């Protein structure tokens, strides 16, 4: 069915519904006027005829009221609505005939008070019915014409010139009211059509919006789902670069190696930012709140960025008491890392200070720098995706412009208010308001920094990795570090290897998280524990950055590393996990 035709049918049905909705007031008016006629005509007309007319009109009015009540109870749809409208028009026509009949059976042309009363009653009824009945023209035309034409006919048949002229006025009055009714009906139909068109446009807009959001979500989910596959070759490349470093002897070779590592690191950073944005946009991030020691968290982040800040000649300080806040530690850490990384790369600062202070029930966390600052008209834009200040050439070494966009999304998910205050030339201050846990203080813990230079030679490591290239690179690197190694590609291969030879209890298990045959690294580590009847340290390496993976690994008490893993990071993790002394 054509859209215009469908609108016309829908408009007609809506007009009939409006007719039934407004008719209840018409019936009240009819009953009131009936008793007015009864009162004024009681002494002027035949009482039996008058009472008979009242009785018939009252029965018809009650029947019409019952019909309206039934309509609302049944709530007809489609073509049934039109049938109900035609039924209403028939009863309206009968009502008009009854009212018009009083000009014939009750009015006395030679008594002007009778003529005046009947004329006023019929004219008032016709005018009063214009608005409620004109929504469906057959109902109004049937009522008004049969109510007024008998009056005009009686006036034309009288021998009075005054009544003759009055008859013409009655016809003119009827014509004017019919004209008004047509205009009212047309305007009502136009307003209903406009409402339907707006609803249609709104539905189309909503559908298009949903399709666009679904497409964006599907894109984000696709990127998030392919995170593991995208990280695998990067992970293997970093491992090979780490192994290659031990074979190079000339200075220019090391220079090329460092440039290769820098390119790999930049690619890893860009990929990680894109993956984080994809997961946030796909809604695949769950919030798990717990009590977090702010001082410990800030000190760990400061230690993590110490080397990067030192390269930029930036001093980094932490000024925070051991307050506890209610937040998700993983997501808050990522938020703060993005802020610190952004300050190190772009602020041109000489000092970055991480502060926390208690303000009633709120803990305000501030990341301040004394750098170049951000102009006021740019302060909102810097939170947009792919927006960067002072990088019109899109130098990829300066990042993608996603760091602060991720910060805003994380702050919104955590429901932590985020503010930026900056004056050009005086630095920036990012303020984050977190719900505090009052009257409680946590204990700070620090990792042993000496583990960074620990000797891991002589360790026996079980490596479980289903990707041949990554497994080979790990084998080469671990053997260069002096480790003994059992490398397998999955749970089944591990089981066969353990039962085929007598192996000593390993010092460490390193496993990829995703393994073949729907198994994972946690299950593989569990098998090692069961076989040796010992709790053996384990490192799980994963390209999947979902919170569920991170939390399950932490719950099992293992260390989680995200691909790609630089060789230095892997060696540090092995040293810390195996509790090796330097």
Give the mean model confidence (pLDDT) for residues 26-41: 85
Is the sign of the CA dihedral 101, 107, 110, 113 positive or negative?
A: negative
- Determine which helix (DSSP H) or strand (DSSP E) holds 231, and give its type and residue range: helix 227-245
Of 341, 423, 408, which Cα lies nearest the Cα of 378? Answer: 423
Give me the pLDDT at residue 320, please. 85
> Is the pLDDT confidence value at 5 over 90?
no
> Is the pLDDT confidence value at 569 over 90?
no
- Which superfamily does 226-284+447-582 belong to? Response regulator (3.40.50.2300)
Q: Which of 38-47, 385-394, 412-421, 501-510 has the lowest mean pLDDT?
A: 385-394
CA distances from 400 to 281, 341, 396, 433 (A): 17, 13, 7, 27
Domain parsing of the chain, residue ranges: 3-202, 226-284+447-582, 290-446
Global pTM reads 0.42
Give the mean model confidence (pLDDT) for residues 498-507: 88
> Is the pLDDT confidence value at 51 over 80?
yes
Which tokens go with 5? 């035709």
Name the more confident of 213 and 203. 203
Give me the pLDDT at residue 326, please. 86
505 three-class SS:
coil
251-293 pLDDT, tens digit per residue, is: 777 787 877 777 776 666 656 655 655 565 555 566 777 778 8
Query: What distance in Å separates the CA atoms of residue 328 and residue 509, rounded to the nearest whole number?
Result: 28
N-terminal to C-terminal alpha carbon distance within the chain: 83
Give me the pLDDT at residue 487, please. 92
Secondary structure E strands in 492-558: 508-512, 538-542
Give me the pLDDT at residue 173, please. 93
CA distances from 458 to 237, 339, 455, 507, 565 (A): 25, 40, 9, 9, 22
Give the mean model confidence (pLDDT) for residues 293-301: 86
Q: What is the fold of 290-446? A: Heat Shock Protein 90 (3.30.565)
Query: What distance in Å separates the CA atoms of residue 464 and residue 553, rounded to the nearest whole number?
Result: 16
Which tokens go with 253? 């070779």
354-403 pLDDT, tens digit per residue, is: 989 888 888 999 988 888 887 776 767 666 654 454 544 444 444 444 55
Give me the pLDDT at residue 508, please. 93
Contact between 574 and 547 under an 8 Å Cβ cutoff? The reply is no
Contact between 142 and 91 under an 8 Å Cβ cutoff? The reply is no
pLDDT category, 410, cuts 50, 70, 90? confident
Query: What distance in Å separates the CA atoms of residue 72 and residue 195, rounded to the nearest whole number?
Result: 22
Give me the pLDDT at residue 144, please. 93
Give me the pLDDT at residue 141, please. 93
Give me the pLDDT at residue 45, please. 80
Query: What distance in Å separates the CA atoms of residue 151 and residue 117, rounded to the nearest whole number?
Result: 12
Give me the pLDDT at residue 399, please. 45
Residue 187: Cβ-neighbour burial (10 angstroms; 0-12, 13-18, 19+): exposed
Give the mean model confidence (pLDDT) for residues 419-446: 71
Q: Which of 68-82, 226-240, 478-492 has the lowest mean pLDDT?
A: 226-240
pLDDT category, 439, cuts 50, 70, 90? very low
Give me the pLDDT at residue 453, please. 46
pLDDT category, 303, cuts 50, 70, 90? confident
**Cis before 564 (ω within 30):** yes
Contact between 292 and 325 under an 8 Å Cβ cutoff? The reply is yes
Q: Which of 228-237, 377-386, 408-417 has the lowest mean pLDDT?
A: 377-386
Q: What rounded mean pLDDT belongs to the chain? A: 80
Give DSSP secondary structure letters for 268-329.
Answer: HHHHHHHHHHHHHHTT------EEEEHHHHHHHHHHHTHHHHHHTT-EEEEE---EEEEE-H
Give me the pLDDT at residue 400, please. 43
Query: What distance in Å separates the CA atoms of residue 491 and residue 509, rounded to the nearest whole number?
Result: 13
Query: What distance in Å separates the CA atoms of residue 498 and residue 388, rounded to the nearest whole number?
Result: 54
- Determine which helix (DSSP H) or strand (DSSP E) holds 181, and give its type and residue range: helix 161-225
Give me the pLDDT at residue 150, please. 93
> Is the pLDDT confidence value at 2 over 80?
no
Give the mean model confidence (pLDDT) for residues 289-312: 84
pLDDT > 70: percent of the chain: 83
Give me the pLDDT at residue 272, please. 63
Give me the pLDDT at residue 442, please. 38
Give me the pLDDT at residue 440, please. 35
Name the more confident of 72 and 235. 72
Give me the pLDDT at residue 580, please. 42
- Burial code of 410-421, b = ≥16 C-beta within 10 A, e = fewer? bbebbebebebe
**Secondary structure of the chain: what % helix, strand, coil (to 5)?**
65, 15, 25
Of 578, 514, 17, which Cα lies nearest the Cα of 225? Answer: 514
112-168 pLDDT, tens digit per residue, is: 888 888 999 999 989 988 888 888 899 999 999 999 999 999 999 888 888 899 999
457-496 pLDDT, tens digit per residue, is: 889 999 999 888 888 888 888 988 889 999 998 888 888 8
> Is the pLDDT confidence value at 449 over 50?
no
* HEC letters along 317-355: EEECCCEEEEECHHHHHHHHHHHHHHHHHHCCCCEEEEE
> Is the pLDDT confidence value at 56 over 90?
yes
Give me the pLDDT at residue 537, please. 92
């Amino acid at each position: 069915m054509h859209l215009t035709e469908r609108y016309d049918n829908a408009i007609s049905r809506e007009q009939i519904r409006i007719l039934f909705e407004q008719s209840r007031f018409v019936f009240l008016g009819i009953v009131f006027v009936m008793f007015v006629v009864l009162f004024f005509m009681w002494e002027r007309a035949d009482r039996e005829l008058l009472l008979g007319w009242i009785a018939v009109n009252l029965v018809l009015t009650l029947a019409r009221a019952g019909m309206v009540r039934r309509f609302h109870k049944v709530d007809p749809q489609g073509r049934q609505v039109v049938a109900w409208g035609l039924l209403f028009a028939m009863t309206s026509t009968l009502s008009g005939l009854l009212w018009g009949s009083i000009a014939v059976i009750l009015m006395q042309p030679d008594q002007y008070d009778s003529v005046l009363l009947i004329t006023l009653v019929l004219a008032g009824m016709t005018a009063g019915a214009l608005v409620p009945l004109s929504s469906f023209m057959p109902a109004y035309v049937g009522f008004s014409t049969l109510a007024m034409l008998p009056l005009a006919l009686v006036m034309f048949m009288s021998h009075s010139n005054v009544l003759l002229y009055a008859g013409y006025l009655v016809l003119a009055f009827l014509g004017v009211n019919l004209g008004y009714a047509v205009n009212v009906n047309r305007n009502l139909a136009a307003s209903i059509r406009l409402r339907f068109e707006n609803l249609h446009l709104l539905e189309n807009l909503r559908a298009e919006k949903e399709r666009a959001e679904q497409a964006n979500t599907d894109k984000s989910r696709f990127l998030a789902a392919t995170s593991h596959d995208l990280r695998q070759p990067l992970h293997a490349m970093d491992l090979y670069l780490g192994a290659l470093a031990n074979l190079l002897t000339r200075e220019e070779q090391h220079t090329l190696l460092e440039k290769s590592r820098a390119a790999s690191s930049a690619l890893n950073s860009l990929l990680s930012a894109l993956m984080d944005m994809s997961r946030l946009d796909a809604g695949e991030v769950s919030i798990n709140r717990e009590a977090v020691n702010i001082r410990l968290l800030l000190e760990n982040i400061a230690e993590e960025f110490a080397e990067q800040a030192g390269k930029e000649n930036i001093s980094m300080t932490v000024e925070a008491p051991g307050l506890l806040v209610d937040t998700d530690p993983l997501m808050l850490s990522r938020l703060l890392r993005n802020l610190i990384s952004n300050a190190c790369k772009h602020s041109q600062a000489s000092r970055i200070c991480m502060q926390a202070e208690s303000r009633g029930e709120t803990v305000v966390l501030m990341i301040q720098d004394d750098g170049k600052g951000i102009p006021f008209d740019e302060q909102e834009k810097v939170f947009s995706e792919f927006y960067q200040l002072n990088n019109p050439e899109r130098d990829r070494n300066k990042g993608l412009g996603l760091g602060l966009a991720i910060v805003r999304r994380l702050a919104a998910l955590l429901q932590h208010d985020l503010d930026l205050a900056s004056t050009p030339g005086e630095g920036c201050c990012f303020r984050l308001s977190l719900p505090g846990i009052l009257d409680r203080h946590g204990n700070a813990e620090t990792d042993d920094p000496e583990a960074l230079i620990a000797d891991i030679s002589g360790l026996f490591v079980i490596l479980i990795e289903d990707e041949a290239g990554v497994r080979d690179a790990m084998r080469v690197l671990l053997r260069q570090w002096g480790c003994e190694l059992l490398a397998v590609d999955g749970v089944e291969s591990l089981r066969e290897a353990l039962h085929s030879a007598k192996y000593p209890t390993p010092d460490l298990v390193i496993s990829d998280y995703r393994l073949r045959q729907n198994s994972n690294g946690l299950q593989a580590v569990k098998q090692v524990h069961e076989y040796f009847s010992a709790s053996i340290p384990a490192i799980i390496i994963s390209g999947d950055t979902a919170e569920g993976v991170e939390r399950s690994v932490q719950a099992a008490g293992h260390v989680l590393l995200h691909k790609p893993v630089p060789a230095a990071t892997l060696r540090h993790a092995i040293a810390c996990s195996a509790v090796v002394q330097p």
